[in-house]
Amino acid sequence: MEILDANVAAEVADKLLEIQAIRLQPEKPFTWASGWKSPIYCDNRLSLSFPKVRTMIKEQLIRSIQHYFPTVEAIAGVATAGIPQGALLANDLDLPFIYVRSKAKGHGMENMIEGKVVPGQKVVVVEDLVSTGGSSLKATQDLLDEGFEVLGMVAIFSYGFDVAKQNFDSAGVKLICLSHYEAMLPMAVQRKYITDDTLESLSEWRKDPAVWKQ
């Protein structure tokens, strides 16, 4: 996993905190579907409701694509949160847009991929958030199975888990994120959302989320 730019990472994290797309509750942690206790909840879909933040994120994702994947021929969003972000990018880049379902449609054509399937087309996948990478990489595999050439993936935010890096490396998929957990923590301290006293606990969570607060 790479980030586009350290300054951009800090700015994006700061804006996500400001609009409460990122919420921190180290003393009253959230429970994920996996059962993990988490001091953070990230819902980047909220950025769509704030035009200035939405535009800033869109412009930086476009910058990422143009820098790392200049030969892109189509944009693919991952359902559901990657769909609006991907559509915004495709529109500004004047490229075809498709999206990947989490499971095949249960009726009609029973599509896994919505939009025109063009085998061999070079596609960049768009995600809003990467945790372990499981659902994101499933989407890339679905695209590969349909004959697309996946150049890589761009995302707004990543928790920066080691397991995610391992999963993306194993799959051979390049991941570029605008921001991540490590860049967010100092911005949260600066905004006084957390204190230096809780910073160590928050840092420990990212290293081993499965046992944190157990």
Per-residue pLDDT tens for 105-143? 555 456 899 999 999 999 999 999 999 999 999 999 999
Determine whether the annotation assigns residue 174 to a binding site: no
Domain definitions of the chain by residue range: 2-200
CA atoms of 199 and 214, how far apart (whole Å):
18
Determine whether the annotation assigns residue 47 to a binding site: no
Determine whether the annotation assigns residue 63 to a binding site: no
Residue 101: burial class (beta carbons within 10 Å; 0-12, 13-18, 19+):
middle
> Mean pLDDT across the stretch 189-203?
88
What is the structure's pLDDT at 109? 53
Determine whether the annotation assigns residue 134 to a binding site: yes
The mean pLDDT value of the chain amounts to 93
Determine whether the annotation assigns residue 179 to a binding site: no
> Mean pLDDT across the stretch 131-158?
96
Question: What value does the CA radius of gyration of the chain take, rounded to a whole number of Å?
Answer: 17
State pLDDT tens for residues 38-69. 999 999 999 999 999 999 999 999 999 999 99
Q: Tell me the percentage of the chain whose pLDDT exceeds 70.
A: 96
Determine whether the annotation assigns residue 198 to a binding site: no
Whether the CB-CB separation of 175 and 152 falls below 8 Å is answered with: yes
Determine whether the annotation assigns residue 127 to a binding site: yes
> Mean pLDDT across the stretch 9-19?
97
Determine whether the annotation assigns residue 170 to a binding site: no
Both tokens assigned to 76: 């693919």
**Residues in CB range of 33: below 8 A, 6 or more apart:** none
State pLDDT tens for residues 176-188. 999 999 999 999 9
Determine whether the annotation assigns residue 101 to a binding site: yes
Determine whether the annotation assigns residue 146 to a binding site: no
What is the structure's pLDDT at 214? 57
Determine whether the annotation assigns residue 102 to a binding site: no
Q: Tell me the percentage of the chain whose pLDDT exceeds 90.
A: 79
Place of tokens 């890096």: 165
Give the model's confidence band at 198: pLDDT under 50 very low, under 70 low, under 90 confident, else very high: confident
What is the structure's pLDDT at 27? 87
DSSP annotation string for 28-77? S-EE-TTS-EESEEE-GGGGGG-HHHHHHHHHHHHHHHHHH-TT--EEEE
Name beta bridge partners: 114.
Answer: 99
What is the structure's pLDDT at 105? 59
> Mean pLDDT across the stretch 12-16?
98
What is the structure's pLDDT at 155? 98
Give, in words, the CATH class of 2-200: alpha beta
Place of tokens 């994920």: 32
Determine whether the annotation assigns residue 152 to a binding site: no
